[in-house]
Structure 1
Amino acid sequence: MAIRVLLVDDHALVRTGIRHILDEAAGIEVLAEASSGEEAVELARKEQPDVILMDVNMPGIGGMEATRKIATAAPDVKVIVVSVHATDPYPSRLLEAGAQGYLTKDCSGDEIITAVKRVHAGERYLSAEVARKLADSLLSGGKGTPLDQLSQRELQVMLMIIQGHSVQAISDKLFLSPKTVSTYRHRLFQKLEVENDVGLARFAIRHGLLDDSPLSANDNG
């Protein structure tokens, strides 16, 4: 039986490229596509794909929260993250959230196929660059940046803030009260020593969470 794959990316062109790669691979079937974390969670519950190829930065809850929800709601579904971000906190936090694999978007088509097959077989799969950087972080004690002191939820709220979501929007997406979101926001300002959302975005750019301004955050996954 073919490995059933769900493609999740907010860029149709990226999904088309990956679909073309997988359509040429023996033993792999693209089951469906999704353009947001919310769609990914819904399809994971409904369709129970074998493997999900998951983008990180997307509108809505994003890939990190979607991965966490899928790990809880559909634990048999394997998630492989495909992202432009090779450095922490993304790889370690996505693995903590329940991902079984992590690829960078400059990987080859052959590596995508290999990752899908190996993760489906029950293995973990990390691209060589990600594995090397995780090992370097481990050997250095894993305390490389102030981001290491953030909880999983604080990091999730931070990612949504720098993508331009309001407190109310974050509240709605994460099923938290606005007061709770505001508390997380205040903690972020304290822990990262910034004064406002603009300072948070500048911090994110310095530490590789954004490649440009907050307005272009959704252009990079």
Structure 2
Amino acid sequence: MSTRVVVVDDQQVVREGLMTLLDMMPGIDVVAGGANGEEAVAQVAETHPDAVLMDLSMPGMGGVEATRRIVTAHPDVAVVVLTTMADDQLILDALQAGARAYLTKDAGKTEIVRAIEAALVRHTTLDPIVQERLLAAAMRGADRTNERRRAEPSQDLLTPRESDVLRLLARGLSNGAIGRRLLVGEATVKTHINHLFAKLQVRTRAEAVAWAHAHGFGPGADGVRSGRPAG
């Protein structure tokens, strides 16, 4: 079954080029193209796609607000940002609005398709430049946080089980996959994620992943345990 995609970009040549390119890829069916956020919101409501490839800087309603409206009205639709900009605040705004991936227009067609596929199963894909900027921002934020928390023992920040969940979250695993690895239910995983979000003072999975990378919980970090320990 093909993945239905809406392509949104205010530049007609870019939009039509992306539509043609993606339509040639196996398993992708481009169902509409829009020039701004208003058209994106309307086309999603009309065509019921699986994913939206979204530019950010557009006349009228921009991509961040369009992403927010689409995700609110259609939470199962995966929004993948494809833009020329990698501004720290814009990255965070887009991810907080509900985008599941953030790519720059240096990305190739294979990268775009992989990001769409990953977004459909709620995995976060970030362009390497975007990852660097998020990590740098997370490090700056961590420095400020550490100043506020000098008196707090670091081991009290997360429970052992929350640390396990964070490590697996940083590897891109979905809630279901984390639950299978740790032998717990998906509802339990969601509870742990909510707790660690509150403790890390983050609001999205992408921000949690950035924190994890900055603090040694990223891919390659060991120490994830299976089973049902008491933590």
Q: Which interval holds the TM-score relative to the shorter structure? A: 0.5 to 0.7
C-alpha deviations, 1:100-138, integer Å up to 9, x for none? 111001111211111111112221111111112101110
Note the 1:118-129 alignment, pairs <5 A.
118-129=118-129
Kindly indicate whether the alpha-carbon contact (under 8 Å) linking 1:3 and 1:120 is maintained by their aligned counterparts in 2: no
Aligned-partner residue type, residue 4 of structure 1: R
Between the aligned partners of 1:73 and 1:65, the Cα distance in structure 2 is 12
C-alpha deviations, 1:152-180, integer Å up to 9, x for none? xxxxxxxxxxxxxxxxxxxxxxxxxxxxx
Identity of aligned residues (%): 42
Match of 2:103 in 1: 103
Between the aligned partners of 2:5 and 2:20, the Cα distance in structure 1 is 13
Higher relative contact order (CA 8 A, sep 6+): 1
Indicate the SS of the match to 1:140: helix
TM-score (norm 1): 0.62
Kindly indicate whether the alpha-carbon contact (under 8 Å) linking 2:5 and 2:53 is maintained by their aligned counterparts in 1: yes
Match of 1:11 in 2: 11
Match of 2:41 in 1: 41
Between the aligned partners of 1:99 and 1:40, the Cα distance in structure 2 is 14
Aligned-partner residue type, residue 96 of structure 1: Q
Kindly indicate whether the alpha-carbon contact (under 8 Å) linking 2:7 and 2:54 is maintained by their aligned counterparts in 1: yes
Between the aligned partners of 2:30 and 2:98, the Cα distance in structure 1 is 21
Q: How many residues align?
A: 144
Unaligned runs of 5+ in 1: 145-221
Aligned-partner residue type, residue 51 of structure 1: A
Q: Please, what is the CA RMSD of the aligned residues?
A: 1.7
Match of 1:21 in 2: 21
Between the aligned partners of 1:10 and 1:142, the Cα distance in structure 2 is 37
Kindly indicate whether the alpha-carbon contact (under 8 Å) linking 2:36 and 2:60 is maintained by their aligned counterparts in 1: yes
Between the aligned partners of 2:125 and 2:93, the Cα distance in structure 1 is 15
C-alpha deviations, 1:40-79, integer Å up to 9, x for none? 1111122211000001111111111111111111111110
C-alpha deviations, 1:25-50, integer Å up to 9, x for none? 11111011011100111111222110
Alignment of 1:138 with 2:118, yes or no, is no
Unaligned runs of 5+ in 2: 145-231
Larger Rg, first or second structure (1 or 2): 2
Indicate the SS of the match to 1:89: helix
C-alpha deviations, 1:170-197, integer Å up to 9, x for none? xxxxxxxxxxxxxxxxxxxxxxxxxxxx
Kindly indicate whether the alpha-carbon contact (under 8 Å) linking 2:78 and 2:116 is maintained by their aligned counterparts in 1: no
Match of 2:158 in 1: none
Between the aligned partners of 1:94 and 1:38, the Cα distance in structure 2 is 16
Kindly indicate whether the alpha-carbon contact (under 8 Å) linking 1:51 and 1:116 is maintained by their aligned counterparts in 2: yes
Shift of residue 142, structure 1, vs aligned partner: 7.3
